[in-house]
Amino acid sequence: MQARHRAPTGRAVSRRKPLLLFRTIFCGEMGLNMEILRIDGGRRLDGAVTIHGAKNSALPLLAASLLARGTSEITNCPQLSDVAASVNILRHLGCRVERSEGTVAVDSLPLSRSDVPDSLMREMRSSIIFLGALIARTGEAHMSFPGGCELGARPIDLHLAALRQLGVKIIEERGRLLCRAGGRLKGTAIALDFPSVGATENILLAASTAEGKTTILNAAREPEIVDLCAYLSRCGARIQGAGEGAITVEGVERLTAAPYRVMPDRIETVTYLAAGAVTGGRLALRGAEPAHIATVLPVFEEAGCELTCRPGELEIRAPARLRRVRSIRTMPYPGFPTDAQAPLMAMTSVADGTSVFVENIFENRYKHAGELIRMGANIKVEGRVAVVEGVESLSGAPVECTDLRGGAALVIAGLAADGTTSLREIHHLDRGYEGLDSALQGLGAHIQRIEE
Ligand code: EPZ
């Protein structure tokens, strides 16, 4: 992915003009093209779209592949910039990686390093997921702190505490992590204060080849955890309880590479459902897994949508006018997923009535609300609570992606709005959605990816 030099995006409207000027001149002189999405709203979506493999499963699976000796063929792997960043890290470590369409083949045998340079860590925040696998494979790992992101501080204290319990010596200095195992890791009982997805994944990766048994209490239960455990088991790991709150891992000597197909992306599924809902459309989502979003589907029904689940397909039919959704509280799985909060906020901003959101997972995940308000949404944010008064219609406007799912929310709002929306900073979208604009075009949306 080409590095983009861009001016820090100011939040306040008053600071926007100078920044915009700087960015236009700077990027113009540098010959950098700033891609934007232009959306002419008000068109009903109709048709079928195939759901891609899940970003949040593909990333830990790629990290896990360095643990399994030989060549693992990961199929249904989405073509995203975060996946490209993971491939760059694997290649930096010495692995041979071949990519063709949705298949990533990782040969981990030539792995020869245990450091991840700053530049690669900065390309993708979730690079921390390489920590457990690298320590288990090489006995050490050197990488910088992943740092915060648009969603907040993104601490890794739970990851580090768990790895220390497994016997890893960790020195944190000058923003870097220096980790050393000093021999084979030792299985132990680990109780997580919070069912962190990333921490659960790092523990699974480090414990799979540790000596003895590891139990994870208060483990994350997300479908992506189940996917990771299924791949590790296929490589020879001995894991019980995947998807439950208590997982046990009996360490084995080594893991052997195996092929694996990435599960469908449940957040991409919700994003398309919301796009269909706001346009009064009718969409068939091929390859979707309704069971993974069992707590989200009732929200669409409460909003007045009709859902039909068939084997390997989920269909939505939306009403001309959506109804409000009483309350949405984000929770760890199987509760309502935090990644679906922004797309659903865009959807309810044009529903009839007041919807209330409570964001319980991340401390700062309402940045998209400001951009939706620029489009005419009526949203009041107070700490973790956002109150959305549905409006008759939104108006197209120049807006900016604040983060991956916030960007998706603005695409959804643009599809519903009267007039034209121009969406900047769409590199956020490319991290987690493969071909979103072309798929929406195929469903009848007037959306174009152009150079600003
Ligand atoms: C994963 O992030 C996902 N990312 C996120 O998706 C998702 O929102 C999140 O899980 C929750 O479901 C990937 O899988 C790559 P967490 P992760 O550890 O692992 C706190 C997207 O849009 N915490 O479950 O980082 C943390 O600050 C992305 O696709 C600690 O305090 O999530 C947060 O408040 C965004 N200490 C909460 O736990 C720690 O050591 C949830 O974090 C770790 C986490």
DSSP 335: S
Q: Which residues line ligand 1 (CB under 6 A)?
A: 55-56, 59, 126, 154-159, 194, 196-199, 338-339, 361-362, 404-405, 432
Q: What is the mean pLDDT of residues 275-297?
A: 97
Residue 235 a catalytic site member: no
Instruction: Compute, in angstroms, the gap from residue 196 CA to the centroid of ligand 1.
Output: 6
The rounded Å distance from CA 423 to ligand 1 centre is 26
Q: Chain-wide mean pLDDT for the chain?
A: 93
Inter-CA distances, 230 with 16, 260, 261, Å: 47, 9, 10
> Residue 132 pLDDT more than 60?
yes
Q: Which protein residue's CA is at the shortest distance from atom 10 of ligand 1?
A: 197
Q: How confident is the model at residue 70 (pLDDT cuts 50, 70, 90)?
A: very high
pLDDT at 148: 67
Query: Phi and psi for 116 in degrees, rounded to 5?
Result: -120, 115
Q: What is the pLDDT of residue 92?
A: 98
Percent of the chain scoring above 90 in pLDDT: 86
Atom of ligand 1 nearest to the CA of 222: 12
Which tens digits make up the pLDDT trace of 200-240?
999 999 999 999 999 999 999 999 999 999 999 999 999 99
CA of 374 to the centre of ligand 1 (A): 28
Residue 3 scores a pLDDT above 50: no
pLDDT at 13 over 90: no
Ligand 1: centre distance to CA 150 (Å): 12
pLDDT band at 21 (very low <50, low <70, confident <90, very high): low
Q: Which of 27, 95, 149, 235 is catalytic?
A: 149
- Whose alpha carbon is nearest atom 13 of ligand 1? 56
Q: Confidence band (pLDDT; 50, 70, 90) for 6?
A: very low
Which of 20-24, 302-306, 308-312 is modeled with the greatest confidence?
302-306
- Position 72 scores a pLDDT of 98
> What distance lies between CA 116 and its chain's CA centroid?
21
| Rounded alpha-carbon distances, angstroms, from residue 129 to 17, 58, 132, 230 | 38, 11, 7, 17
How confident is residue 311, by pLDDT bands cut at 50, 70 and 90?
Answer: confident
The DSSP element (H or E) to which 346 belongs, if any, is: helix 341-348
**Atom of ligand 1 at shortest distance to CA of 405?**
22
- What is the identity of the amino acid at 360? N
Percent of the chain's residues with pLDDT above 70: 92
| Residues 327-331, mean pLDDT to the nearest whole number | 98
Decide if pLDDT at 249 tops 80. Answer: yes
Residue ID of nearest Cα to ligand 1 atom 43: 156
Measured from the Cα of 333, ligand 1's closest atom is 12
Closest CA to 107 of 141, 146, 75, 74: 74
Q: Measuring from atom 3 of ligand 1, which residue has the nearest CA?
A: 56
pLDDT of amino acid 182? 85
Q: Whose CA is nearest to atom 6 of ligand 1?
A: 339
Using CB atoms within 10 A of its CB, is residue 359 exposed (0-12), middle (13-18) or buried (19+)?
buried
Q: pTM (2 decimals)?
A: 0.93
